[in-house]
Structures are given as structure tokens and as C-alpha cells.
Structure 1
Amino acid sequence: MSDSVISTLDLEREHQLLKLFPEPVRLHLLYKATEPKSTSFPYRLYGVGPFIIVVYLASGEVRGAYMSKPPAYQERDENVFLFDVTTTNATKMSPKDDSKIVICPNYSYNYEFGNSFKLRTETVSNESNFHVSFSSGEVFNTGWPDECYNITKGDAGFKDLELFRVTGVGDVLPFPWREISWTERTREDFRESFVSHKVFVESLSSVRVLLLGPTGAGKSSFVNAVRSVMFKRTTHMPSSGAGAPGHFKKLKSCIIRTGRGGPATSLTLCEVMALGEAESAGLSVSDALAVVKGHVPEGYRFQSDTPCNSQTPGYRTEPGIKDRIHCVLFVLDARKITTYNDDLQKTIRMLQAKISDLDVPQIVLLTHVDQLCHAEDVKYVYSSRAVRDKVQKAAELVSMPMSYVLPVKNYSEELDTNCSNDILILSAVHTLLQAIDDTLDDQCVSSTVE
């Protein structure tokens, strides 16, 4: 067929049809009946592998059949099914007995899917002529009325017939599960929005975001990544402490600036001791909540066996709004999300529940996603089935919706920044700033009402 031939299958119906398959697939148009240069239809099926026959009726109905094997006489196909599809829904009808599905008996090129769908073809002067019939049948129980269309005579009830090859797409989904524009303009718009952002509360010039997560998840790396985006070059800040069990780690706040020596933005990222596999081996829940409430002084060194309390030097008994945490960012490693032990998962869920009680917004940052999607450019991250699955796992772990989980790639080996990665990082910053604005807005409205 000519490369210029366009399928009659519109994008909405194609999207619904693709949902019928358990794994992501693509459809490749092989044959179109109304194309003047169409070659013999039957021969197109041989050696194709999985295929779909789609019939378009003048009434607007779209029906068809799928087979996972090339047609072979008396060969059974356990995966065969019929379907009808609209712009908003697709119905899949599997056979009650696939032994009654007949394909090409005696090489007469008859395709019979029970009594529900029959297609007879004849080749005349290297062109295919068709006779199509539909019925409710017993093998598929489609509920279709008895209808016959003689395509060779220009039946007014028939519109078109197409044959598609069905191929797997591996990790790449046919449609992105999130939409974003990966352009230089998008990067600059995000950066400008970040630089010009003003906190909703006038008395608050900067919001404090606390990064919580296990050792090696990428908390410090995210701080460096955000600074790198703003500096337009990769930056490397020293670690704020050891994350190994039994060691100290201090509360360290990093003001994000618009560039080297530039004015401060409205964002401050705060690091603390890592969460351990058991509460005794890392940051305790009580210390984490003390930080969120604003009791813990800057530079305080955490110890798992000695919680911060009112006797701690610098402890704030009555913290103000500037001292508190305005958003908590759970930082999790996408590569390890399914292997975190029960104790760590329990700690994370406990923190999530208690922080929710404090009316502090929470976001999940999923790092190292570039090692899942097998793509050189992270702009394909939202087309990756593997990344989407890990995002879902992270949402389940933290008991939050998938929309609260943001995949990112921190700068680690790179010496220079790149557009797509900057967009992913800035998009995460934009989302958390919006979450803080929404929460502060809601709290101000609530206090006014009271």
C-alpha cells in the first residue's frame, strides 16, 4: 500500500481499541478496501502474525475481529476475539468454544468467526471483493442483528474494511500517561515562573520543603539538581552528613537562588537524617514531626536514640509560620520501590498519616527513573510503562494518588544541564509550589470563616 493511505480508524476509536489488549500494542495498516491500488486481501494475512480486521459501516458502527496467529486451516487460536468500538468505549467478545472458529477452509479464503462475523473474499483482476455478514451467534454472543453487506456491488450500508498488523511496543506506551511540552520555551517558562513566584502569605518570603527518604534515595542530589537548573550548570554541594545507621545528620536548609550570587527564590529545601529500615536506625517519627512543626533548630544533629525535645538547645517551643515546614517531599528510589522492607514502609505510612493530620501538603519524588525507561532522553519518561508502574507502586506505598508522584532524574554524572531534564525537575518544583499555595490559600480562607 502507499504510505500516504490514511486509516479510517480515528484516534478516539483507536485509543479505545488498544485498551482491549493486556499489553501495549501498535496497529500497522496493511490493507484498505477503498484504496484503488489495494492488492489481494487474503495474501496479506499470511506471515503477518497477530492481525485485526476492521469493518466500518455507513451507520457509524465499527466492528471487527482479532487473531493472534496467521490463518491456518483447522489451527485453533485461544486468543481470538470479536469487538465493536465507539469513540468512548470498546467491547471485547471472546468465544465460548474456539474450535468453532474457521479460518480459510479449503483455501477458499472464507473467514468465519462462529456465526457472528463471516467474511468471504474473491480475487478478480488482482482486486479483492467482499461479502460480509454479522449475527448475534452463539459462539461469541455479540448481540449484533443479522446483517449482510455485498461490498462488490457498492452496498450503501458499507463504508470500508481494513487489515492491521498488531505488534508489541515493549516498554513504550502508545499514548503518554502525562502530557508535557519538551521545548526550550517550556523550560524558560517554568524557570521564569519559579523566579517570579511569590508566597501566598505576605508575611512569608520563603516556603520550607522537607525532604524525607531512605539512604541513597537522592535527597541531596535533588537539592543539587534544582540549584543546577537555576545556575544553568551542574553544581556540587557537600553532603550534610552521613546517612549510615548510628551516625548523626543535621538539619540543613538550602535557600535556592536564581543563580550564582543571585537573589533568593521563594523556595528553601531542608534535609535531615535519612529514614532507616527500622526507626532505631534512622530518623525517628517524633523527630521528623518536630521538624515539620518547626521545633528543631537549624544545624541540629539527629540521633536515633536521643529525640529532640524541649531540653535541646535552640528548641523552639512556640515556632512561627517561618519556622515550620510547608510541604513534605518523600524521596524514593524507583529502582528499589518494590524492595523496601516492611519496617521502612510502615514508617513512611505512619509519617504520611501524621503529617496529613497537621494539614501539611505532601508530594512523592521518584528518583532514578532514567534507569527504568531505557531511553537516552528523559522526555520519554511519560511514555514508559515501567516508569508508570513504579509511580503506581510508589503511590500505593505512601497511600497517596498517582498524581502526587513526580518522576525525576537528578544530575549525577553530567557536567552540563540539558533541556529535558531541567523541564522534569522544574515541573516537580512547580507542582510542589502549587501544592503549598493551595494549602495556604485554604488555611487562610478557613481562618477567615472561623
Structure 2
Amino acid sequence: MSASVISTLDLEREHQLLKLFPEPVRLHLLYKATELNSTFPNRFHGVGPFVFVVYLSSGVVRGAYMNKPPTNQGHDENVFLFDVTTTNATKISPEDDSKIKISQVFSCNYEFGNSFKLRTESVSKESCLLVYFSSDEVFNTGWPDECYNITKGDAGFKDLELFRVTGIGDVLPSPWREVSWTERTREDFRESFVFHKVFIESLNSVRVLLLGPTGSGKSSFVNSVRSVMFKRTTHMPASGAGAPGHFKKLKSSIIRAGRGGSPTSLTLCEVMALGEGESAGLSVSDALAVVKGHVPEGYSFQSDTPCNSQTSGYRADPGIKDRIHCVLFVLDARKITTYDGDLQKTIRMLQAKISDLDVPQIVLLTHVDQLCHAEDVKYVYTSRAVKDKMQKAAEFVSMPMCHVLPVKNYAVELDTDCNNDILILSAVHSVLQAIDDTLDDQCVSSTVE
């Protein structure tokens, strides 16, 4: 239909109507009675799925959805009728699927039981298009018996429209976070990282702790950040290797500005994985001991033996340089809906206790490339699937979605990629900002006191 023809369906009602569909869809206007002299074109027959929308002068808007092209006495188990207002839409499904008989009689007649009929009939020897409403035992709409002559333009009738319903796929029309995927952006992020100075002069480097289940990508993220700064992929031993529950050491990796370069202000810390399912993992007490700065570098964690004041090298009175300044919960986007309740319980317990320590917390969502269109990370902020997983990750840890950062770690690549570097550097930038904001707030609070 001509793009100049404007649908009678306003944005508020369209928004409510779209909520009735289980998957994201878009409506394409095919037919508008008031523009086509009420003549229902034959070329639209059999085009589906589609929606009929009838507008009455009283303000009532109702209609029907068909998933399959109509055939003589055809059966469509997905059919439904609806009422829609600016604030709500009511989906009216059949009482009994076995009784659904959607008929296409002749070339222009569509009958949804007795509840909604669109028929071509002879009125005073003139072919007219009529719409009927009623209530029957199949749909039980509760609609009053009404009939409107569309061709004659009955006073109670306003318009009839037909829309084709199409899926809109994974790619959203516009990103929900703006990123410029250019070499200039990558260099700006890298330069900002290299020259970043910690808010507190006595603190040369901030320590960021990565917590997550086995295989979530903690060590890979450390290697990926290093790869971005070295401008080539690096291959460091994966501390997460080994059987689940096997002890791991506290390992702190200073990120340098290139091979042999000066240290940046970021140190990434790895520990034993959090337990999942039947596997034992890092205890809450050990995780908190690391955050508070009590645990010495190289300490070997064991699930059944927590770190305590009797541990060799234990710091009874850790300084600010020993503490953790931000915690990253690392989760796999592919598994976010299948992680068990024990892991969620552990993370939420940690989250509550870490919050009491005034340490910022962020979720690092890995493997998002496998959800993107063509597995290209430049689509990460226009991907419906990625956005959905980010929302689920936020719900899983009970944190705002703005605290969820999507990344793709370097795993099998031999060379770095500009878009992927930008995503990783963007995550690092957000982490450093969160730390700066927290330290600034703590300094202001101590000054006021």
C-alpha cells in the first residue's frame, strides 16, 4: 500500500496490540477501507499471517488475527480475537480449539465463528462489504450483535484495516547503547586507559576481582584485556583449567600498556571458581576475605579449609592497596537461563555483603558474540537476543541492567579485532569509572565527617 496512506491505528493502541504476540512482530498496512472505496482486493487473499482491525465511531477498536491463510473450512489453532484500547489489549482465544472453523467463503468473506464476520453481500442489488460482530460459544467475546455496512459508510463505522504480520528478527531498528565502531574510538579508549590515574594519589593501581562459575570466561577476560593492550592475542596459562572444585590460587595480573610497557592503573585478580550444582567452589567467607584484602598473593583456596588469621601471610590489617576496589561477576550469556539456584544464592549473598563494604559490583556477560547477528559484536547493542540475556543476567544477580557489560573474549583468534577491542575497552572504561565514582564519594564522605 502507498506509504502516504496513514493507518488509523494510533501508536498507543498499536503498542498494546503488539503485546498480544509471543514474539516481536511488525504490522504492515495492506488495506484500508476508507482509501480503497471498501473494495477488498483479491491479491491480499491468502497472505498471512495477518490482522483485521475494525474501528467504530464510538471509539471501540476490535479485530482478529489469523496465522494461516484461510481455506474453505480451514482450521487455525493460533487464531484469536481482540479488543484494544490505548492502555490495554484483551486477547480472546477460543474456548475449544477443536471447534475452530475459519471459513473463507467465495473470494472476500472471512468468518471467525459467529463472533467476527467480514462478508460481501448484495444490498439493494449492490455488492457491499459488511462486518458483523456477535458472541458465540467458540470465542465467548461478550460482544453485542452488530452489523455495519462498510461500503455505505454506516454512521457507527469508522474504518477497517488489514495488516500483514511479520517477525522482525533479532536486529532492532536502533541501538539501546550508542557506540562508534571505528579505529578512532578504539584508540581513544586505549589512550584513556593508559593515562588513567586513580583518584587517590597514594593508590597507583586498583584491584578488580573476577568471580564466577567454572568456564564463564574469567581468565579469558584477563588475557583479552592484555591482548587489546599488546595489539595481538596473548596466550597465558588458564588458571581455570582443571577439575571443578580443584583448588585455585589468588593470582593478580597487572595490565601493562603493551609488551614491556608501563603498568596501567588496573590489576585483575582471579580466584577459585564459584561452585555450581554439585561442584564445590570458592566459599563466601574466602571471597569476602579477598575483597577485604586479608588473603595473600598465591594463596591456594580449598573449599573445606577457609582462609583465616592462622593462614601463612594472612593480612590482619590490610591497607587500601591490598583491598579489592571492584567486583566483576562473570557469567556466560549462553547459560544465564540454566544456572542453578545454588549459584544464584551464592552470588546474591556475596552481593549483599560486598555492598556493605562499599565496593562497586558489575556483571560481565561473556560469549555475547554467539547471540549477535552474524556473530559480529558491532550488533551487540542492536541484538534483541543480547538485550534479553542482559536483562536476564541483571535479574539473576538482582542488579540494574546498566551494571551489565557484554563482552566477547579472545579464545581462538590469532589477531585482535577493532570492534571486539572496543567492546572490551568499553567494559574496562566502565569499571574504572565505577571505581573512581566510589572512591570520590568515600573521600567526600570522610572529609565531611
The TM-score, its normalising length taken from structure 1, stands at 0.77
- Give the match for residue 322 of structure 2: 323
- Give the match for residue 107 of structure 1: 106
- In structure 2, do the counterparts of structure 1 residues 246 and 189 end up closer, same or farther at CA, with 3 Å as the change threshold? closer
Written as runs of structure 1 = structure 2, the 5 A alignment for 1:411-426 is 411-426=410-425
How many Å apart are 1:162 and its aligned residue? Answer: 4.3
Counterpart residue type for residue 162 of structure 2 = L
- In structure 2, do the counterparts of structure 1 residues 76 and 273 end up closer, same or farther at CA, with 3 Å as the change threshold? closer
- Give the match for residue 394 of structure 1: 393
- Give the match for residue 194 of structure 1: 193
Residue 180 (structure 1) aligned to one of 156, 159, 178:
178
128-137 or 172-181, which moves further after superposition? Answer: 128-137
Distance 1:24 1:163 in 2: 19
How many Å apart are 1:151 and its aligned residue? Answer: 6.4
Name stretches of at least 5 consecutive residues in structure 2 with no aligned partner: none
**Residue 94 of structure 1 pairs with residue 92 of structure 2:** yes
How many Å apart are 1:6 and its aligned residue? Answer: 6.8
Matched-pair contact (CA < 8 Å) for 2:48–2:68: yes
Residues 361-410 of structure 1, C-alpha deviation per residue, up to 9 Å, x if partnerless?
A: 21222222333456321233445454445434433443334443333211
Counterpart residue type for residue 205 of structure 1 = N
- Give the match for residue 364 of structure 2: 365
Name stretches of at least 5 consecutive residues in structure 1 with no aligned partner: none
For the residue of structure 2 that corresponds to 1:270, the secondary structure is strand
Counterpart residue type for residue 82 of structure 1 = F
Distance 1:263 1:62 in 2: 67
The TM-score, its normalising length taken from structure 2, stands at 0.78
How many Å apart are 1:323 and its aligned residue? Answer: 1.5
Counterpart residue type for residue 25 of structure 2 = V
Distance 1:280 1:29 in 2: 55
Distance 1:131 1:324 in 2: 76
Q: In angstroms, what is the RMSD of aligned CA positions?
A: 4.3
- Give the match for residue 81 of structure 1: 81
How many Å apart are 1:251 and its aligned residue? Answer: 1.9
- Give the match for residue 273 of structure 1: 272
Distance 2:240 2:48 in 1: 57
How many Å apart are 1:219 and its aligned residue? Answer: 0.7
Distance 1:186 1:117 in 2: 56
- In structure 2, do the counterparts of structure 1 residues 135 and 199 end up closer, same or farther at CA, with 3 Å as the change threshold? farther
Counterpart residue type for residue 269 of structure 2 = C
- In structure 2, do the counterparts of structure 1 residues 26 and 182 end up closer, same or farther at CA, with 3 Å as the change threshold? farther
Residues 48-100 of structure 1, C-alpha deviation per residue, up to 9 Å, x if partnerless?
A: 231023467999997654222323455565532234365xx452342676999
Counterpart residue type for residue 371 of structure 1 = Q
Distance 2:81 2:279 in 1: 56
For the residue of structure 2 that corresponds to 1:41, the secondary structure is coil
Matched-pair contact (CA < 8 Å) for 1:77–1:98: no
Matched-pair contact (CA < 8 Å) for 2:34–2:160: yes
Distance 1:105 1:12 in 2: 31
Residues 331-371 of structure 1, C-alpha deviation per residue, up to 9 Å, x if partnerless?
A: 12233344445544443333223222222121222222333
Distance 1:73 1:289 in 2: 69
- In structure 2, do the counterparts of structure 1 residues 342 and 67 end up closer, same or farther at CA, with 3 Å as the change threshold? closer
Written as runs of structure 1 = structure 2, the 5 A alignment for 1:331-342 is 331-342=330-341
Written as runs of structure 1 = structure 2, the 5 A alignment for 1:193-272 is 193-240=192-239, 242-245=241-244, 247-272=246-271
Distance 2:320 2:250 in 1: 18
Matched-pair contact (CA < 8 Å) for 1:101–1:114: yes
